Amino acid sequence: MDREDAVSLVKEHVKGVFLFKHMIATEAIMRALAKNLSEDVDEWGMCGLLHDIDFEKTKDDCVRHGVAAQEILSDEGVSEEILRAILSHNYMNPDAPMRVSKMDHALVAADAMTGLIIACAMVKGKKLDNVSDNTVRKAFKKKGFAAGSKREMIMECEEAGIGYDKFVEISVAAMKDIAEELGL
């Protein structure tokens, strides 16, 4: 599946604009992380783009999040590594496989980081250009700020092989690169 086909599939299953933007933000971070780690940029980007394809269908049954994605994606030519990362990123599913690969951990970290960076942009004039790495680092330390962006999930960047400070730098730059698409 190429990116164009993936975007079409996502739009078929995701109607919410905010969710779609979150998915492309996660894709951008995953692509940047893959480049930094000398991993397959397209594969990692695809993982980020598709990771919440079932979210709207499973929001009332959070344990099924990731499981339903498997059902949607299993006949679409998506790699086993992507399917595994998507399934393992749901920390609310007690039956989800343990995260073991760099991609597994990177997806969890990128998924959580998008919310923190977007929240920073919202208080900085709704512009990603106004968000610095330091802005994100300071916001990370404020427990009540962007509470849905779980700090322990963001810290899984280290298990993916990227130190926290470098992860912030990569993530902010990746999202700034697609600021226009995000409307920020």
Give the tens place of pLDDT for each residue, 111-145. 999 999 999 999 999 999 999 999 999 999 998 99
CATH topology of domain 3-182: Hypothetical protein af1432 (1.10.3210)
For residue 112, the tally of other CB atoms under 10 A from its CB is 22
Query: What pLDDT does 103 receive?
Result: 98
Does the structure show a pLDDT above 90 at 160? yes
Query: What pLDDT does 143 receive?
Result: 87
Q: Which two tokens stand for residue 144?
A: 């009540």
Average pLDDT, the chain: 96
Does the structure show a pLDDT above 90 at 178? yes
Give me the torsion for CA of 174, 166, 50, 7, rounded to 10°: 10
pLDDT tens track for 4-42: 999 999 999 999 999 999 999 999 999 999 999 999 999
Q: Distance (Å, rounded) from C-alpha 72 to C-alpha 40?
A: 23
Domain positions in the chain = 3-182
**CA–CA distances in Å: residue 50 to residues 104, 161, 166:** 13, 22, 24
Q: Distance (Å, rounded) from C-alpha 88 to C-alpha 184?
A: 30
Tokens 């933007």 correspond to: 21
At position 4, the amino acid (one-letter code) is E
Phi then psi for residue 133, to 5 deg, are -60, -40
**CA–CA distances in Å: residue 146 to residues 75, 83, 113, 118, 120:** 36, 28, 10, 9, 8
